[in-house]
Amino acid sequence: MSRYVRLDLGARELARADLLAALDELGLQAEVAEIPGGLMLEGNFECAGEPVDLRLPAGALAAVADFGLRAEGGTFVLVCGEHDRALLNERLVAPLGRALAAARVRAAATAAGLDVDTTQAADGTLRLRVRPPA
């Protein structure tokens, strides 16, 4: 890792609670900062650590270094080592976007008094069926 890079998650107006729920749905447990930017990524001899709000350890999703998520203007950005960029874009950003979208559909359906059935196809497609309560 020669430097840290930032990747946009593609989600606007993202609450920390929603992000934590989506990470949990993906089987990832993040260390949570008590104050904004209160956790530091480890860094190395080539670069200093970076402040983040949520930190995941090295090895999570096969990443070489620790990585985290930092609040930025109503959403979050992924902060990771340059070496892990492509891996985390594939293994975290895309699945996280799907998990966040599914959580928003479920929340909207629940608020409207509707039920949601969820199935996952063999190709990984997530299908949500919204229907009146049984």
Each residue's pLDDT tens digit, 16-53: 888 998 999 899 999 999 999 899 999 877 778 899 99
The pLDDT of residue 126: 85
Phi-psi category of residue 69: left, alpha or beta, with phi > 0 → left and psi -120 to 50 → alpha: beta
**25 vs 107: CA distance, rounded Å:** 15
Give the pLDDT band of residue 75 (cuts 50, 70, 90): confident
- pTM, two decimals, is 0.82
pLDDT in tens, 86-114: 999 999 998 898 888 888 888 899 999 99
Nearest Cα neighbor of 32 from 19, 42, 44, 13 is 19
